[in-house]
Structure 1
């Protein structure tokens, strides 16, 4: 959840460039930030409980350093404070850490800690303390780290240095991602994601579990779990980012940019279907499909279930990884793992717990080099560019497009005419001005229902999540058919309802009846429906509510328009409430601890 970035160089490091890279990791956590840098014979440390940019003035512009550790924190152990901010220190060892020590309580009482006094509430300081314990006998930082790695439980990556030997930097990785890179100028870099280290990156390596890298006097050595030196197989860095990402739309917010960028990215991804089919060509049509995801990915999994069952006639189940059940008979079952980062701990832990069971697997990710991709037999890369806003926007729509394409592939469809959809989708972005007007009417409400059915119910769930995440408004998603079975008791004349009507001909009349039932109890309704549905309702009814017109598109693609509407609405709710849309409280973008 935290972000680590470090540079080790023979020459002086460009501090401005370093901070630009560290800021690229701020989406991973923004409770606090800190740096440690070698200045002459000493190590200097700077910390803040504000954003990374507040650290920059603390460092003199002409400061000279050849080694710097940086960290941005999402708090797991200990409140956000200067005391709990990284880098941490114990008995000569400085450390920046990303992860969680699951056996913290056990180790806290162990002989490795003994009577040592820990000053913070964090599990990170405990790692530094145990390293210093072994260092007394090994006199080697890398050997000490190897011993520590064998007793830590959980997902952990960290970098450490010894204040008495500032020419040595040691890195360790287990489950939590850590990348090592070689820059064009010969300097070394470590980062929690590849994007942050991309500037002038020549080659890189994604460390495997329990590997250690030691840089000593500018000589780099990679060790395996047995502390045996092994070859470093660095691969050339090549960005896969879409050309559409090169043009920024607005400086208003990252999330807003990412919503707007979909006008180009999603049609581009649709047109890339031959590449998607190529990535899954070796997968035989399964007898069953199981889709596994968390958060927004679970909501897209729910829509995927409908696609596989209705488009390709394949029975499909969906699970959150924490609730997955291992079936005895899983022959001819395809397991699809959804994660925008490819690093979601709950999902990766499940996959790695029984790789043989999940041998017929496919991951759908937005990161081509990730823990999930490395663990599955096949993968589809959305290639939508890194998503830095905490709320999933372009990756959510990307996932549902991918699931639709894959379900169509299993139904024998090998070509698509997307021209009608692309035209309607690009034109639909003009809905923003109408959404903004509605947001001004409703942003002060404390609670909402959002109702859907068929293809729109998973979008209702996603919409409720978006409103909670970035607007801090309680919102509950329900099947419109279930309102009469209890939830309607909460309605009074002022209770706000967001109502999605699907285009399913078998349920349209029932969905309209449910709308009328709700209208008798509240006029605070925002209806999202296609032109054909709106025409059925009549002008008198529509004049008494608020509504957004959804294009009359192919039923499987209609959810995309509902999703875009609710993304805009969530954004404007947050903006009107003056909430930090890109970095809402208590959240981080990448969940690398279970």
Structure 2
């Protein structure tokens, strides 16, 4: 959601800014812009794509050694050139991610002092506010510090001033921002992917940090003006990791990366290693000791992972589990339990609702916290007592795929660790589960080989406007994830139901124009599911069934069967979600939608 790139170097930074924006396109945006200093302040903005902004820069032969750039996802004001960033105030330019909650009060105060607003954005209030502070504190760093102390809400900002052409100022609170230390200059960005072109040396800013960037140095300050040091890291990402390679889209690439992502995530149990609470941090034995309940907080796809985990943990570890949508949890009167393990899940580790829910739980005295996340230095990881880092690698496609399956792998390990601590896992069962987990990447690879058949199914979906997904037990959340994926990338309206609920309302929707996708693993609920499928056929509904070998569901007119390579017991949800991802991807291709950047959506949701 929005993206910032800032650069000051010995060479022309315009290509760096534009390439950085291109790498941040996955975050979702509707306009793009940049501002550079080369004698004077020059600003270019486009309500279209980064490619349109690049064309403007090429046409103007823009060149400069310092600049800021931005992709905007509209919050305040419609997508348009006048609302696109950067925003300017008297020779000063600002880009901003996040939402300023008190911008209307700031705007009214500034207007009373003669400032004229030309956009509908909250960001323009920041530009004018910083400019006003320069009148009383004629130092750009100090002016930004004073301005940010008046802001309420979430922000990551970058600031340039025509009168101060040898440094850029950045600051963050609530929205991610990191510094890049390169051989030719200093950089800042919302995501490491934007900076891999120039450096792998990174410094993660903490909430409340401000930083001054010069060509050969940087310094960081707290909001109260106190200097502070932050550790430098060497990113393990490579530029190749965020390139498409031979694939058509990032979503396709990331679906096919799942065997390797799972193998990487499960590497700690390779070579005969067993289940250990230490997989989740050195303090895990202490934190897990005496846990009576588990509270899982997440949004979207991560929420579905939590729903699967509820079935696993309650069934195997025998610990009651509550799964909450993070955006709802902190706005209701819940009953805190200090003996609950609070598990937060986020691919980016910067999901605003999940981070806020975590802080709310901690404020209620729930300090046994665990993050399951794909980004080691993210805000959520830094806020929890324990963490499990999924090793999915960068996920660029907005519709999450490999992040989801690696989250499930993490939950499988957590389930077994809790069961072992509670005396619910004997040696034989532990070895059985470990064998299944170690084989999981191979099993997923076999499912991916079903792509040609799934592609043929997808052809039938291009003309559909609605779809119904059914699942039972631990596969009901997988049906929910399948429906979400289809909605996200193909814009086909889809709903998921526990199959037993079919006759309690959704059956009214079923007719020959409503495709019904069913997940039919060979488990204890299979016979119940078969009865639900008969109800669909009796109403003329067309069935598409993902069935395990041995499910014994015959193919017939109106009943299409795709046989999964093998039944996988507890881990079956990991396998069954793969064909649903492929079905959504290929249906979107047939419909011609923007698979990697679906309309109205952002990859990293860093505002409420």
Aligned counterpart, 1:499: 518
State the shift of 1:434 in Å. 0.7
Measure, in 1, the Cα distance between the counterparts of 2:66 and 2:85.
16
Aligned counterpart, 2:564: 550
Aligned counterpart, 1:403: 411
TM-score for the superposition, normalised by structure 1? 0.93
Consecutive unaligned residues in structure 2, runs of 5 or more: none
State the shift of 1:151 in Å. 1.6
Instruction: Trace 1:40-59 onto structure 2 (pairs within 5 A).
Output: 41-59=39-57
Measure, in 1, the Cα distance between the counterparts of 2:441 and 2:357.
37
Alignment partner of 2:550 out of 527, 532, 538: 532
Matched, 1:19 2:5: no
Aligned counterpart, 2:207: 209
Select between 204-213 and 572-581 the one with higher mean Cα deviation: 204-213
Task: Please give the per-residue CA displacement for 1:472-520, whole angstroms capped at 9, x wherever unaligned.
Answer: 0110101110111111112223321111123332x22211111111111
Secondary structure in 2 matching 1:392: coil
State the shift of 1:14 in Å. 5.1
The answer (yes or no) to whether the contact 1:27–1:388 under 8 Å persists in 2 is: yes
Measure, in 1, the Cα distance between the counterparts of 2:21 and 2:239.
23
Alignment partner of 1:234 out of 219, 231, 234: 231
State the shift of 1:192 in Å. 0.6
Matched, 1:342 2:349: yes
The answer (yes or no) to whether the contact 1:340–1:366 under 8 Å persists in 2 is: yes
Task: Please give the per-residue CA displacement for 1:111-145, whole angstroms capped at 9, x wherever unaligned.
Answer: 57544210011111111011111211111222221
Measure, in 1, the Cα distance between the counterparts of 2:111 and 2:296.
43
The answer (yes or no) to whether the contact 2:41–2:91 under 8 Å persists in 1 is: no
Task: Please give the per-residue CA displacement for 1:319-357, whole angstroms capped at 9, x wherever unaligned.
Answer: 112222565551321110000000000111222345352
The answer (yes or no) to whether the contact 1:249–1:261 under 8 Å persists in 2 is: no
Matched, 1:302 2:307: yes
Task: Please give the per-residue CA displacement for 1:56-83, whole angstroms capped at 9, x wherever unaligned.
Answer: 2333497542102111111111111111
Alignment partner of 1:441 out of 457, 460, 464: 460
Secondary structure in 2 matching 1:583: coil
Matched, 1:488 2:485: no
Matched, 1:128 2:127: yes
Matched, 1:2 2:21: no
Aligned counterpart, 1:119: 118
Consecutive unaligned residues in structure 1, runs of 5 or more: none
Instruction: Trace 1:21-170 onto structure 2 (pairs within 5 A).
Output: 21-39=20-38, 41-60=39-58, 63-110=62-109, 114-170=113-169
Aligned counterpart, 1:256: 252
Rate the CA distance shift 1:241–1:139 in 2: closer, same or farther, 3 A: closer
Task: Please give the per-residue CA displacement for 1:400-444, whole angstroms capped at 9, x wherever unaligned.
Answer: 111111101222266512454443321221111111111111221
Measure, in 1, the Cα distance between the counterparts of 2:175 and 2:243.
32
Secondary structure in 2 matching 1:59: helix
State the shift of 1:213 in Å. 1.3
Alignment partner of 2:481 out of 449, 462, 483: 462
Secondary structure in 1 matching 2:168: strand
Rate the CA distance shift 1:547–1:592 in 2: closer, same or farther, 3 A: same
State the shift of 1:522 in Å. 1.9
Measure, in 2, the Cα distance between the counterparts of 1:353 and 1:144.
32
Matched, 1:509 2:527: yes
Select between 562-571 and 424-433 the one with higher mean Cα deviation: 424-433
Measure, in 2, the Cα distance between the counterparts of 1:417 and 1:499.
28
Secondary structure in 2 matching 1:492: coil
State the shift of 1:557 in Å. 1.3
Rate the CA distance shift 1:237–1:204 in 2: closer, same or farther, 3 A: same
Aligned counterpart, 1:351: 358
The answer (yes or no) to whether the contact 2:202–2:235 under 8 Å persists in 1 is: no
State the shift of 1:90 in Å. 1.5
Task: Please give the per-residue CA displacement for 1:264-297, whole angstroms capped at 9, x wherever unaligned.
Answer: 2223323434698533253225221111000111
Measure, in 2, the Cα distance between the counterparts of 1:168 and 1:113.
31
The answer (yes or no) to whether the contact 1:28–1:73 under 8 Å persists in 2 is: no
Rate the CA distance shift 1:216–1:360 in 2: closer, same or farther, 3 A: same
Secondary structure in 1 matching 2:573: helix
Measure, in 2, the Cα distance between the counterparts of 1:280 and 1:382.
11
Select between 425-434 and 414-423 the one with higher mean Cα deviation: 414-423
Q: CA RMSD in A?
A: 2.3
Rate the CA distance shift 1:242–1:131 in 2: closer, same or farther, 3 A: closer
Alignment partner of 1:388 out of 389, 396, 405: 396
Matched, 1:366 2:364: no
The answer (yes or no) to whether the contact 1:263–1:429 under 8 Å persists in 2 is: no
Rate the CA distance shift 1:550–1:251 in 2: closer, same or farther, 3 A: closer
State the shift of 1:200 in Å. 4.2
Q: May I ask how many residue pairs the two structures share in their alignment?
A: 584
Aligned counterpart, 2:539: 521
Measure, in 2, the Cα distance between the counterparts of 1:131 and 1:88.
12
